[in-house]
Amino acid sequence: MENDFIEEPVLNDDDDDEQSHSHSTKQKHDKLIDSIVHLGGKKRKVIIRKEPISIPNNLVASTQTSSASKKIKSHQLLSSLKKTSSVQIQTLKKQLAKVNKHQAVLQQPLQKPQAEKAERIAAYNQETKSISKWDPIVAKNRTAETLNFPLKNGGVQFQTTDEFVGKFQTLSSLEKDIAAILQSSSNNIQPNSLLTQAEKKIISKMDLLEAKQKLNELKRMRALISYQQAKFKRVGKIKSKKFRRLVRKDRQKQEEKDLKKLSVENPDKFLERLEHLERHRIEERSTLRHKNSTKWAKEKRLLSKFNTKAREEIEEQLKLGKHLRTKQAQDESDDDDDDEDEDEDAQPASKPGVGIQKKKPIEIPLILAPSQIEAESNPWLTTTGSAVLPASEYSKPNEVRNEDMSSSDSDEEHEKENDENPSQNEPIENTESYGVTTATKPVEHLTMPDSMKRIEIELKQTEQHQMNIQEAFADDDVLAEFEKEKSDIIDHDRPKAIDLSLPGWGEWAGSGVPVNKRKKRKFLIQPKPAPPRRDIHLHHVIINEKADQKISEHRVCDLPFPFADVEQFESLVQQPLGREWNPETAYRRLNQPKIRTRIGVRIEPLDKQDVFFKRHHSKRDNSSLDFNLSNNDEDKSTADVEQDSLFDNEQSQKKKFKRKQKTN
Amino acid sequence: MLCRNPSDYVRETKKDIVPVQRNYDPDLHPFQVAREYTRAMNAVKMERIFARPFICSLDGHRDSVQCLTKHSTQLSLLLSGSCDGEIKLWNVAQRTCQATIPAHDGFVRDICVIPDGTAFYSIGNDKLIKRWSMDNYDAPAMTIVGKHVFTSIDHHYKNSQYATSGENVSLWDEQRAQPLQSFKWGADSHAKVKFNPIETTVLASCAADRSIILYDTRQSVPLRKITLQMNSSSLAWNPLEAFVFTTANEDFNLYSFDIRYLQRPFNIHKDHVAAVIDIDYSPTGKEFVSGSYDKTVRIFAADKGHSRDIYHTKRMQHISCVQWTADNKYVISGSDEMCLRLWKAKASEKLGVIRDREAETLEYNDALKEKFAHFPKIKRIARQRNLPKHVYHAKREHKTIQESQKRHEANARANSKPGSVPFVSERSKVILKEEE
């Protein structure tokens, strides 16, 4: 077999004639050299093994035969027919020339593996593209707090009122009777007519002129209503923010005007209104700030379903808001005041509303003042910010002083205001003074209304206080005590040598004999030196190093994976889940499992039809509904027209129709 | 001032529900975290105490179990085929064998049930595809003689098409005796073919040349082929995420792929200590179960790298097939010693009726366990499992092997020109090549 193959030429190409010739001469030459080389030595034949190429390379052959030089053109074929000249051949030649002229050569088709590869790539790309539509659904399912399986629960079906009403059926005979009577009434409005039977009867009984008048009136009213409706609809659909702003401003202007009118006509009501406005504003202030109601926050909130980063940002903002509110409660109130001033400044002085606005700060406090005082005197009514204040009084006397000054300012204001109604004046001031200054010297405060003097007094007080403390603890040597305690603790904590020697054991004599030195050394186990204490260089502190040994076993030492920082993790741990610390609804929400399944119910894989086409379907349903509605409108308008035609001539009819079209 | 009206809190009748007044101010509950920690500790201990996953074994096969399929409409019905050519139908709820069918000569390779559940197909080493009606087990409703031995069969989730694997992957119609289409791309044998349950036209096969090939029934050519380091024995599609499938590989790992990014698996699931033979996703798509040649069944969270539980018994031999039941409650494994075993999917779950209050407590306990999962004591208790000796030792052995490999690599890196031994991520090491 092999020999056959070896003898076969590797390639049977016509072009290689010369090459093969040269090849043969070369072989001869090699043989000659070989024979010369081996003349002297042993004759040794080296067999070179040649592997056949079992599959003739068709591709190579085909490409070589189809090279441009080997191609046979059509006119070459015809050249053999030269001798036999006839009309037929001439025409044939002409036709051929025509064909050659308009010849567009198709590209050579791709070879099979390449073609298949291209097809595969195209198919794969198409597949990945189509399968990517599942991305939002997968993301939603992955981040969902709970998934209730089976996911397909029949869907929610909405009923229109007609369908709902259609379900009612008369049951008892009495109901049937009532229904029959109601049905037979001539005052029922039939679906395709504007007037009830009774009305029609009345109109038909009137004389023509009166009926026309009546009908005209009715029509006018109807038209007006429809115009108004159309207008509202159009305006309601406008999405432009600018327009909305303008509308809002218009409304505000109108309200201001109303307010002004009210101030002249009904001062009591006006005051009430002002108070209401003020309260409303305060409420809005307290609710809107840092409450994720901004545009940015809204966007983030939308994202937060799928994006943990956005969620964190929102949380951070909330945290910030909380932080600001608790710490700077006083500043915030100041800011608020500033804001109010700015608001007032922003409005031009010539406007009629300004007078009212400027009256406000004078009048409003009259209403609010008692409540403020109440809040200061009654600890239960204070907000968190003011509750913090007494604690800070000790640490930051400066702040307290500021507080006093501001309150004294407000005192002055109060005094000014209270000049008008002196009956309220005295009790207010008394309560204030008791609330702010120390109870020992109310008289002084009353006699010296200047705030600077009060500060001096307070300074004196603190100095005296310190003196008293020093006197009281004059005999105690606290430092020495502390040092002794510390050295005791250090001694106690130092690792001790363990003495395992037993007195009398292995000795000849009885009790009272001292223990052998050698033995002592042998049985005394020296401990390893303890690591240096952490408070070795801190003379004023004792750090207990053994305190958290037990609890440290229970603590997390590394930050677990999904958390970005320690605060986040701690906030999770601090959030209680139990009933004792959460209201029922929160308890349920916090403890709901990730997956809910029902016993004995199969969970089918997601259904493409269900997920995608249902949505599409519902959309189409809605659109069809809209279409129906619009149809109804059209029906109505045509019905109107029909009714009109009872009395009106055609021209007016057309005009009205046109007008309606315009409004629509 | 505090004042209480007794009528607010004194019950008039025995069944009266009284509102309990509470103050949720955190300052009033300084020991809140400590109390919850104790509860979490108790909960996690209870979980381990009640973790008894094994329910029963279904015995009756006279040779090792080769394949296992759950019925497509009935929850309690299960079909299993063994190496002696018998198919058994089991009623899992009653733990009885409903029917025994001598179906094939030699192995029953695979079984699949048609979507409406009225019939099923079986294939065997005798090159036959048999269709059986659920009403009559005496004789097959239809028999097709194939040209080669089939290794697996899977039915389309909606249509009347089914696919077989063997020398090639063929697509059949229920009404025809000839395949509609045959896909072949390099490999001379395919171990498994599976339809995608969501994008129902897509299917994937594990080929014997270590590759996984994707197909679409609407195309005339396969879509893509990836070659892994070692052979994959099975694969499963996620029933909730259309583009995710997981393969059980012979290098002891499972690999999760996104079919749009096949350059590397998006997750490697490690823990088995021998070739993984079979895998099945839970119907919720959040977890999957895998059976291995190391005689254990493991349950993985789909997005985690390590298993959350391991099931084993002394008598259970090499696992050949696993299934997760359609109600997400149980796991069934079939193994070489002729038994099917029924396990709870959640080892400590209480079976039977659970009252509302008990359910609430269980949910609360679960939430606590999750909240305190990172605390060392609780983590230790929750993770502790007693492994069979051979698994324990094999695990340690693999650990040393891996460490030594890492050390070798680090040494090579330290002693060669900087940059000449690049760092390659574990995930990208898995894929040898992706062919278009």
DSSP type of residue A514? P
Partners of residue B143 on adjacent β-strands: B130
Buried b (16+ CB within 10 A) or exposed e, A282-312: eeeeeeeebebeeeebeebeeebeeeeebbe
Chain A CB contacts of B284 under 8 Å are 147, 149, 595, 597, 603
Question: Is residue A454 very low, low, confident or very high in pLDDT (cuts 50, 70, 90)?
Answer: low
Chosen from A577, A579, A587 to mutate, greatest number of chain B CBs within 10 A: A577
Q: How many CB atoms lie within 10 A of CB A150?
A: 18
Cβ pair B198:A606 closer than 8 A? yes
Chain A CB contacts of B372 under 8 Å are 573
Chosen from A137, A581, A582 to mutate, greatest number of chain B CBs within 10 A: A581
Question: Is residue A624 very low, low, confident or very high in pLDDT (cuts 50, 70, 90)?
Answer: very low
Alpha carbons B397 and B388: distance in angstroms, whole number? 14
Cβ pair A603:B284 closer than 8 A? yes
Residue A118 clears pLDDT 50, i.e. is over it: yes
Alpha carbons B94 and B193: distance in angstroms, whole number? 31
Average pLDDT over residues B190-210: 95
Give the nearest chain A residue to B327 (CA atoms).
Answer: A602
Phi, psi for residue B247 in degrees, rounded to 5: -110, 145
* CATH number for B82: 2.40.128.630
Chain A CB contacts of B220 under 8 Å are 119
Question: Is residue B336 very low, low, confident or very high in pLDDT (cuts 50, 70, 90)?
Answer: very high
Question: Is residue A198 very low, low, confident or very high in pLDDT (cuts 50, 70, 90)?
Answer: confident
Q: Where are the beta strands (DSSP E) in B274-392?
A: 276-281, 287-292, 297-301, 307-311, 319-324, 330-335, 339-344
- A with B: how many residue pairs have Cβ under 8 Å apart? 152
Average pLDDT over residues B374-379: 96
Residue B350: inside a domain? no
Q: What is the pLDDT of residues B400-415, one digit of tens each?
A: 999 999 999 999 999 9
Residue A136 clears pLDDT 90, i.e. is over it: yes
Give the nearest chain B residue to A130 (CA atoms).
Answer: B199
What's the domain count of chain B?
A: 1
Among B381, B354, B385, B372, CA closest to B46? B381
Residue B104: inside a domain? yes
Contact residues, B window 70-109, toward A, CB-based 8 Å cutoff:
73, 75
Question: Is residue A21 very low, low, confident or very high in pLDDT (cuts 50, 70, 90)?
Answer: low
Q: Residue B198 is nearest to which of A132, A553, A605, comparing CB atoms? A: A605
Chain B CB contacts of A149 under 8 Å are 283-284, 328
Q: How open is the CA angle A561-A563-A569, to the nearest 5 degrees?
A: 120
Q: Rounded to a whole number, what is the distance in Å from the CA of A565 to chain B's nearest CA?
A: 14
Average pLDDT over residues A211-230: 89
What single-letter amino acid sits at B345? A
Average pLDDT over residues B278-298: 96
Cβ pair B436:A601 closer than 8 A? no
Q: How open is the CA angle B270-B273-B275, to the nearest 5 degrees?
A: 90
Alpha carbons B429 and A48: distance in angstroms, whole number? 43
Question: Is residue A322 very low, low, confident or very high in pLDDT (cuts 50, 70, 90)?
Answer: low
Chosen from B21, B36, B261, B263 to mutate, greatest number of chain A CBs within 10 A: B36
3-state DSSP call for residue B176?
A: coil
Q: Residue A131 is nearest to which of B157, B242, B367, comparing CB atoms? A: B242
Residue B140: inside a domain? yes
pLDDT at A94: 85
Instruction: Select the more confidently predicted residue: A70 or A110.
Output: A110
Q: What is the pLDDT of residues A278-298, one digit of tens each?
A: 887 676 667 665 677 788 888
pLDDT at A518: 83
Phi, psi for residue A47 in degrees, rounded to 5: -90, 120
Average pLDDT over residues B154-175: 95
Residue B309: inside a domain? no
Residue A485 clears pLDDT 60, i.e. is over it: yes
The pLDDT mean for chain B works out to 94
Cβ pair A120:B284 closer than 8 A? no
Average pLDDT over residues B275-279: 97
Residue B132: inside a domain? yes
Q: What is the pLDDT of residues A337-392, one digit of tens each?
A: 333 333 333 343 333 333 333 333 333 333 333 334 343 444 443 333 333 333 33
Question: Is residue A574 very low, low, confident or very high in pLDDT (cuts 50, 70, 90)?
Answer: very high
pLDDT at A414: 46
Q: First vs last Cα of chain B: how many Å apart?
A: 81
Domain assignment of residue B123, given as a range: 63-147
Global pTM reads 0.59
Write out the two tokens for A292: 């994720």
ipTM: 0.93
Residue B182: inside a domain? no
Residue B73: inside a domain? yes
Instruction: Select the more confidently predicted residue: B406 or A637.
Output: B406
The residues, any chain, with a CB within 8 Å of residue B327's CB and separated by 6 or more, are: A597, A598, A599, A600, A601, A602, A603, B75, B283
